[in-house]
Chains A and B, each alone.
Chain A
Amino acid sequence: MASRVNIWGACRSLALRPRPARIAAQSFRSQISSTRFYADDATNKPSSPPSGNSSASGSISESRPGNANARLTNELAQDASAGARPSDALDDAALEQILYGGRPVTSQREGGLTEAQEEALYREGVIPPPEEAEAVLARSEAAAESQSIVSIETDVQKAGHKFGLPQKPYPEGFHVKKRYHPVLEQITRLLMRHGELSVAQRNMATVMNYLRTAPAPIYSPKFPLLPGTPPASHLPLNPVLYITIAIDSVAPLLKVRNIAGAGGGGRALELPVPLAVRQRRRMAFQWILDVINKKPSKGSGRNQFAHRIAEEIIAVVEGRSSVWEKRKLVHKLGTAARANVGSNKLKAKKKK
């Protein structure tokens, strides 16, 4: 009996052999789509095979032995489910490690980020390895080029314009509404008061000049920044990167949504929800603004608001800011509430 089990165990491993080929196909597909979805892994590695595949293989292996012992199938199902959702297999300590701790402070490489890496950071909020960033950038450029070719052809067909249409890709600063850096654009609107956009833009410029003239920050090992952050000496001369690193590092990965009445007994059900990049940045900067508004100014004059923001950004990067505590709190709550993700009560609520 035991020997049979071993044989079927070997069969199972055989059945799983075609996996690498599938993984390759998966990675190819993931390369095509440059956007990263909620469910994708944070490191942009090829995600584990979907549960459908493994469960299918499981069912195949189950059907072959016919009425095999229940223990084995049980094991198999466990394996399959583990393959489907790796997060379920992690214990609290491991998850905490992933969420806020144990990350490498800076990248191992000597120099700063490549241009493609910076682009990826601004777009996706994570710093990929340089080769991957290059590949993504090249693909997006190719896509843009193919688009532009199509547009030129259509232009030729519709030759009714007096001066012709501008050619894509547009030069830098061509579009009046896309004149500023996307991260700065979002943050500037957040720090705007009374709808005075140009004042907010001036404040933003003052923040950046403050960061450029301040000495390089000293990273704290207690509060690790975004993985792959360049060395501190690279930040002052690139204030946009400085601000992005600060904000993306303290940005929460999720928020806890309270679903009224779904908790049972009139309680709300706490449901952790993942956030997109812009949402995360917004939340992080709102926290920073909350801290700033409680702080007294140190000097006088119209630059005080901007100086307080800049000081808080430096404090975030150096790990002195109280914003880190807020992030920790949100993540703790999310970790505690993750049992509610697939709740039956939620479905019942939806049916109603």
Chain B
Amino acid sequence: MASISLRSLVRPSLPVAPRIQPIIIAAFSTTSLVSAAAPPAIKNRKDLPKKTKKTYKKKQNIVPVKKPAPGERKAFRKRIQLSNNSALPVAGLDALEAQTMARAESSGRMFAVPDEVVDQLRALEAFKSTQTWNLFRKPHVLVRKETVELMGRLEASLEKKEAFKCYQCQDLTNGNTEYSPVPDTEPMQFTQPVYCLKLLQNIYKANRAVLEKTPLKQDWSRLSATLKPGSTLADLALSAKESEFAWPTLSALWTELTQPGQPPVLLTLDGLAHINKVSAYRDPAFNPVHAHELLLVRTFVDALSGKTKLPNGGAVIAATSQNNTHFHPSQELALSQLEAGQAGKPVPKPDPYERKYDDRVYDALKNSTVMRLEGVSKEEARVLMEYWGASGMLRSVLDSRVVAEKWALGGHGIVGEMERASLITMRM
């Protein structure tokens, strides 16, 4: 009985299919001792096993250096310096005033940019790190013939200036900033909350004086509890503390500015071709998003096309260039037609074989005025180079031959290229 119970505890020997079991032909074996290579015979002292030389790893004296935080070095590289105390101050140049740039006699002259304007422009990120502001004592600008022409057009509506600035529009459409869909829109529209928040802060920094004086016309208490009926535009701009509320606040600010009785508005944008293309963003169905479906871009485009009226006056200026751009057939067509119309020449017809025309872009641009900018003229180049010489940055003799040479080397008066040819070079 006990043996049966013990046997029940033993693992049962079930019959197993013979082919699963490994087929053992021979028993375990090793190679014979004879076939292994014999160790070398020791004949003299040289054959004795040597001690391997120990290599002590050299201790590197590691100096505890505080490493820069992520992004700190790039920020240092991209920093914008607007003064150079080694440069000579240039005497005899007037400061830029409200009406200076519109006057015909100030064409072709250098003007000092006042400090408060410098602060405003810095807040709007108007200075670039690739420009040579860091060589001169103080920012100065050359007023060109075209500047006077443009400012003459703006003069009527520019009493108190308000500036929006979308710096480098490619940032808006190349997918580098966050985006979020607006619910219940067809086709789906998108906002760019982080960019909007930054833009709001920049607008506040640059236009603080005007915004603090302008009261709100509508009730925006649904956006923030701090907005009372008597509060100003500055309060509205400051009410957005987080990026979720940035776009509603920005659109509220825009609505306020387009109410009658508010100050005139100047909207500027660089890189027009970038906001006319199909952006790098995708909708939830993974279809590409047209840049005009981005609400920030659409606000600008509506203002540019005249869809949004500016009852207080103002201007919308968009700039494009031959560099950092791409070919957009509708934009090219619209601009060439406008230019021909302004010059009284025959208006070019659309190409019947072109498939990539975009009516939205054409409609946005067709009501505008085109102004073509070339490089500076030789006279203006001379004024500019005289300023460089007076600052002590141009050491060579300045005569008409040198001016013509640098003007030609700089692509017929492109200022950045002229700087490269005469300031940022080994021959100075």
Please name all residues of chain B whose beta carbon is closer than 8 Å to the beta carbon of A201 when the two chains form the complex: 426
Q: Which of B236-295 contact A (CB under 8 A)?
A: none
B76 adjacent to chain A (CB < 8 Å): yes
Q: Are A299 and B73 in contact (CB under 8 A)?
A: yes
Q: Are B426 and A215 in contact (CB under 8 A)?
A: no
Q: Are A213 and B86 in contact (CB under 8 A)?
A: yes
A237 adjacent to chain B (CB < 8 Å): yes
Say which one of A84-92, A202-210, A325-333 lies at the interface with B. Answer: A202-210
Compute how far the CA of A209 lies from the CA of B423 in the bound complex, rounded to whole angstroms.
8
Please name all residues of chain B whose beta carbon is closer than 8 Å to the beta carbon of A209 when the two chains form the complex: 135, 423-424
Which of B65, B134, B423, B426 lies in contact with A204, CB distance below 8 A?
B426
Q: Are A184 and B86 in contact (CB under 8 A)?
A: no
The interface bits of chain A over 228-264 (1 if a CB of B lies within 8 angstroms of the residue's CB, else 0) are 0000000011110000000000000000000000000
Which of B73, B135, B426, B428 lies in contact with A213, CB distance below 8 A?
B135
Please name all residues of chain A whose beta carbon is closer than 8 Å to the beta carbon of B393 when the two chains form the complex: 212, 237
Which of A205, A216, A299, A303 lies in contact with B426, CB distance below 8 A?
A205
Known contacts: A184-B426, A208-B428, A212-B393. The answer to whether A300 contacts B86 by CB under 8 A is: no
Please name all residues of chain B whose beta carbon is closer than 8 Å to the beta carbon of A237 when the two chains form the complex: 86-88, 392-393
Q: Are A188 and B77 in contact (CB under 8 A)?
A: no
Chain B residue with Cβ nearest A173: B427
Compute how far the CA of A236 lies from the CA of B87 in the bound complex, rounded to whole angstroms.
8
The interface bits of chain A over 286-308 (1 if a CB of B lies within 8 angstroms of the residue's CB, else 0) are 00000000001011110100000
B29 adjacent to chain A (CB < 8 Å): no
B60 adjacent to chain A (CB < 8 Å): no
Compute how far the CA of A181 lies from the CA of B427 in the bound complex, rounded to whole angstroms.
8
Interface centre among B73, B74, B393, B428, by most chain A C-beta atoms within 10 angstroms, is: B428
Please name all residues of chain B whose beta carbon is closer than 8 Å to the beta carbon of A301 when the two chains form the complex: 77
Known contacts: A214-B86, A236-B86. The answer to whether A179 contacts B427 by CB under 8 A is: yes
Q: Are A205 and B86 in contact (CB under 8 A)?
A: no
Q: Are A180 and B77 in contact (CB under 8 A)?
A: no
Chain A residue with Cβ nearest B134: A213
Q: Are A215 and B86 in contact (CB under 8 A)?
A: yes
Q: How large is the interface on B (under 10, 10 to 19, 20 to 34, 35 or more residues)?
A: 20 to 34
Compute how far the CA of A173 lies from the CA of B427 in the bound complex, rounded to whole angstroms.
9
Please name all residues of chain B whose beta carbon is closer than 8 Å to the beta carbon of A215 when the two chains form the complex: 85-86
Compute how far the CA of A205 lies from the CA of B132 in the bound complex, rounded to whole angstroms.
13
Q: Which of B62-77 contact A (CB under 8 A)?
A: 65, 73-74, 76-77
Chain A proximity of B347: nearest CB distance (Å): 46
Chain B residue with Cβ nearest A188: B426
Compute how far the CA of A201 lies from the CA of B424 in the bound complex, rounded to whole angstroms.
10
Q: Are A216 and B86 in contact (CB under 8 A)?
A: yes
Chain A proximity of B295: nearest CB distance (Å): 35
Q: Are B426 and A238 in contact (CB under 8 A)?
A: no
Which of B135, B426, B427 lies in contact with A212, CB distance below 8 A?
B135
Compute how far the CA of A184 lies from the CA of B423 in the bound complex, rounded to whole angstroms.
16
Chain B proximity of A305: nearest CB distance (Å): 14
Chain B proximity of A289: nearest CB distance (Å): 18
Please name all residues of chain A whose beta carbon is closer than 8 Å to the beta carbon of B88 when the two chains form the complex: 237
Please name all residues of chain A whose beta carbon is closer than 8 Å to the beta carbon of B77 when the two chains form the complex: 299-301, 303
Please name all residues of chain B whose beta carbon is closer than 8 Å to the beta carbon of A238 when the two chains form the complex: 395
Chain A proximity of B89: nearest CB distance (Å): 12
B84 adjacent to chain A (CB < 8 Å): yes
Q: Which of A41-94 contact B (CB under 8 A)?
A: none
Chain A residue with Cβ nearest B136: A213
The interface bits of chain B over 39-76 (1 if a CB of A lies within 8 angstroms of the residue's CB, else 0) are 00000000000000000000000000100000001101
Chain B residue with Cβ nearest A235: B86
B425 adjacent to chain A (CB < 8 Å): yes
Q: Are B86 and A299 in contact (CB under 8 A)?
A: no
Q: Are B73 and A180 in contact (CB under 8 A)?
A: no
B-side residues, CB < 8 A to A, are 65, 73-74, 76-77, 81, 84-88, 134-135, 392-393, 395-396, 423-428
| 3 nearest A-B residue pairs (beta carbon) | A236-B86, A300-B73, A237-B392
Q: Could you write out 14 A-B pairs with CB less than 8 Å apart?
A: A173-B427, A181-B426, A184-B426, A205-B425, A205-B426, A212-B84, A212-B393, A213-B134, A215-B85, A215-B86, A237-B87, A296-B65, A299-B76, A303-B77
Known: A213-B86, A237-B392. 20 other contacts (CB 8 A): A173-B427, A181-B426, A181-B427, A188-B426, A205-B424, A205-B425, A209-B423, A209-B424, A212-B86, A212-B87, A212-B393, A214-B86, A216-B86, A236-B86, A237-B88, A237-B393, A239-B428, A298-B73, A299-B76, A301-B77
